[in-house]
Structure 1
Amino acid sequence: MARISAASDANGDLEKLGSVIRGRRKAINLSQEAMADAAGIDRSHAGKIERGERNLTLLNLLRIAQALGCRPSDLLTESGL
């Protein structure tokens, strides 16, 4: 099984997911730093996730969803994944 990295994400799935995360975060007027703190991840890592530069782990997806007050499936569905 091939490993998917941000560099090999030909479909732009990471960017789609990151865009949805950014949109949700802004919709609830949460700064990137506040979301990262609530999710227990580094702010710069959160920025890379939002730009689709990092392949986030399931655990980080769960943490981000909790920080945004939604379900991980909501983020994935809205991303078209």
Structure 2
Amino acid sequence: MKTRIQELRKQHKLSQEELALAVGVTRQTITSLEVEKYTASLVLAYKIAKYFDLTIEDVFDFSELEEI
């Protein structure tokens, strides 16, 4: 699943570590999300979206799931 996490993080001048601490995960989790090796849980997706004051759909691309 594609995300805008890296783009949003850079726009807000945040390191992976800073974002990870803000949403309660490890830096490695943020890295895995950014390179699409990990799919966020609904709770984590909500926390990330809320942190950036966006909706989940603004951060995560669900278009691949619509084909199912």
Q: Distance in 2 between matches of 1:66 and 1:33?
A: 17
Q: Determine if contact 1:65/1:72 at 8 Å carries over to the other structure.
A: yes
Q: How many residues align?
A: 63
Residue 63 of structure 1 aligns to a residue in which SS? helix
Name the structure 2 match of 1:50. Answer: 34
Q: Which runs of 5+ in 2 are unaligned?
A: 64-68
Structure 1 residue 23: Cα displacement: 0.3
CA RMSD of aligned residues (A): 1.5
Higher radius of gyration, 1 or 2:
1
Identity percentage of aligned residues: 27
SS at match of 2:43: helix
Q: CA deviation at 1:80?
A: 6.1
Aligned to 1:65: 49
Unaligned runs of 5+ in 1: 1-13
C-alpha distance after superposition, 1:10-48 (max 9, x if no partner): xxxx2x22xx11001101111111111111111111110
User: In structure 2, what is the Cα distance between the partners aligned to 1:33 and 1:69?
Assistant: 19
Q: TM-score, normalised on structure 1?
A: 0.68
Distance 1:41 1:61 in 2: 12
